[in-house]
Amino acid sequence: MKRFFKALSVFLFVMCIPIYSAVIYGVSELPDEISIGESEEIDFGNICFEEKREPVKSASTGFGKTEYESRIMALKVVPVKDIKVNITKRRFVSPGGDVFGIKLYTKGVIVVSIDSVTTSSGTADPAVTAGIKCGDIITTINSVAATSSQQMTDAVESSDGNPLHLRIDRNGEIIDIYLTPVMSVNGKFKAGLWVRDSSAGIGTVTFYDDSSGMFAGLGHGVCDVDTGKIMPLNNGEAVRAKVNGFYKSSAGNPGELCGVFSDVALGSLRVNHEMGVYGRLLQPSGTKVMPVALESEIRLGKAQMITTIDDSGPQYYDIEITKIYPSSDLSARNMIIKVTDPVLLEKTGGIVQGMSGSPIVQNSMLVGAVTHVFVNSPDQGYAIFAQRMLETMDTVKSSELAKAS
């Protein structure tokens, strides 16, 4: 009898191992949220999970999306995790790959550096004394909207040493500050501030959406080179650009596309967002559309990216998707990719600056866009989900419609 119970215990223990393993794997690896297309089921691959829709709580969330709560079961009997399931209509866009020029003008002026001022009696730090910090956005000067760095310079030099009332946006918090300029040794009033009101550069268009008349690019926001913060957009323009060369990437030294702006306007920039820049097209792209992959449809393995490195225009190059992060991660770094194409590796060393926004295609669907290069390993980089960019564009479009009404 003892042998029987001992054998039974061993048998039950062995039987429990796959159950415990499935539960542990499910809790750690299954996302908190997943998207599927209409009339589609959740695909767990070869893993023994199944969906149990009880209780089903459905709700419309806009942008052609419906969501419900679902319980994931292991081996049909063991509850593992409750997740939110988004049912999304299939969307189609035209992949880009074209290099474009960005002309961005800020909403307010950004403080990029603070210096001491040399006066006849020594050095002074009026900006520090006032409590100004690098990265602050000056939105008004004496109740007048701040629109340019020259406006700030003129206000300081004409102050006669009287305090200037500045309204500042510091990480979303609005602060009122009084800045008192001092007379410098050169006979002009100074504040010890360096500010910036615009930026320019090149990137790559990710996709065109002719149905809405919009486009998206970069996959990440345009950041100030000194503060690293996303520049607040007042207005901007996107123009066609031509690649006239590049600096090859190497370990520790990311390369860069060299391009020149053309006089041909692509459209107007409407939003500078952490998930890319978005704008209005002046005219439809007229190019062939491609389905946008849901996050749940993206797989590890072979893919291609579309990018431009010379005057031959957008070309397809082989890559691999080596890592996919959970969809609950709200950053723009949703995947890790590796360039495997020998031609691109030979020419550019992998990913170079300016390729940000290059579309990534897998199984004839747009799955994402390149966002960052690994400095010490330029054949690798981060990418964002295309679905994430499309949803951001929908939000921009919805916001514009709300303002128009």
Residues taking part in catalysis: 220, 341, 356
Residue 317 · residue 307 · CB < 8 Å: yes
Cβ burial of 245 (10 Å; 0-12, 13-18, 19+) is exposed
Which tokens belong to 95?
């992949």
Q: Report d(CA 193, CA 174) in Å as an integer.
A: 19
Annotate 377-399 with DSSP letters as a single string.
EEEEEEEEEHHHHHHHHHHHHHH
Of 276, 268, 113, nearest in space to 196 by CA: 113
Q: How are the residues of the chain apportioned to helix, strand and coil, as percentages rounded to the nearest 5?
A: 20, 50, 35
Q: Report d(CA 361, CA 292) in Å as an integer.
A: 9
Of 398, 293, 310, 302, nearest in space to 354 by CA: 310
Cβ burial of 273 (10 Å; 0-12, 13-18, 19+) is buried
Of 163, 147, 160, nearest in space to 195 by CA: 147
